[in-house]
Chains A and B, each alone.
Chain A
Amino acid sequence: MADSIVTPSRSRDLDKLLLRPGNLVGPNFEPGVELRDDLREYARILVVGAGGLGCELLKDLALSGFKNLEVIDMDRIEVSNLNRQFLFRVEDVGKPKAEVAAKRVMERVSGVNIVPHFCRIEDKEIEFYNDFNIIVLGLDSIEARSYINAVACGFLEYASDDKPREETIKPMVDGGTEGFKGHARVIVPGVTPCFECTIWLFPPQVKFPLCTLAETPRNAAHCIEYAHLIKWDEVHSGKAFDADDPEHMKWVYSEAVKRAELFGIPGVTYSLTQGVVKNIIPAIASTNAIISAACALETLKIASGFSKTLSNYLTYNGVEGLHIKVTEFVRDKDCLVCGSGVLIELDTSVTLEKVISISLGSAVTWGLNIIVDYHKFGLVCVLVLGVEFIHQLEEHPKLLLSKASVTHRGKNLYMQAPPVLEEMTRSNLSLPLYDLMGKIPKDIVHVTGTTDKHDKKTSCLRKLRVAFKGIDGITDMDMAGGA
Chain B
Amino acid sequence: MIKLFKVKEKQREIAENANANGKSPIKKQSAGELRLHKDISELNLPKTCGIVFPNGKDDLMNFEVTIRPDEGYYLGGTFLFSFQVSPIYPHEAPKVKCKTKVYHPNIDLEGNVCLNILREDWKPVLNINTIIYGLFHLFTQPNCEDPLNHEAAAVLRDNPKLFESNVRRAMAGGYVGQTFFTRCM
Q: Contact residues of A with B, CB < 8 Å?
A: 28, 35, 38-39, 41-44, 125-127, 131, 133, 142-143, 146-147, 150-151, 154, 166-167, 171, 196, 199-200, 202, 204-205, 207-212, 214-215, 229-230, 233-234, 237, 302-305, 336-337, 405, 407, 409-412, 415-418, 420-421, 424-425, 438, 446, 448-449, 459, 461
Contacts and interface: CB of A to CB of B under 8 A. Distances in A.
Interface string B108-150: 1110111010011011100000000000000000000011101
Interface residues of B, number: 61
A37 B92 CA distance: 46
A209 B5 contact: no
B26 interface: yes
Given A126-B25, A167-B8, A420-B51, A415 B123 contact: no
Lowest 4 A-B CB distances belong to which pairs?
A: A405-B41, A211-B146, A448-B38, A207-B119
A38 B12 CA distance: 16
Contacts of B87: 143, 146-147
B58 interface: yes
A451 B59 CA distance: 26
Nearest to A142: B88
Nearest to B57: A424
A142 B122 contact: no
A199 B31 CA distance: 11
A415 B2 contact: no
A421 B40 contact: yes
A196 B31 contact: yes
A211 B30 CA distance: 32
A143 B5 contact: no
A77 to B, nearest CB: 27
Contacts of B12: 131
11 contacts: A42-B5, A199-B91, A210-B119, A212-B146, A214-B108, A214-B150, A230-B108, A230-B110, A336-B34, A410-B27, A446-B34
Contacts of B28: 126, 147, 150-151, 154, 410
B9 A44 contact: yes
B18 interface: no
A132 to B, nearest CB: 10
Contacts of A212: 146
Contacts of A196: 31
Contact of A417 (B23, B25, B30, B44): B44
A305 B60 contact: no
Nearest to B97: A233
A27 to B, nearest CB: 10
B114 A302 contact: no
Highest count of chain B CB atoms <10 Å: which of A126, A208, A418: A418
Contact of B2 (A42, A131, A336, A337): A42
A446 B2 contact: no
A127 B37 CA distance: 26
Given A151-B28, A302-B1, 11 more contacts: A39-B2, A125-B25, A131-B12, A143-B86, A211-B106, A214-B148, A409-B27, A415-B40, A418-B43, A446-B37, A449-B41
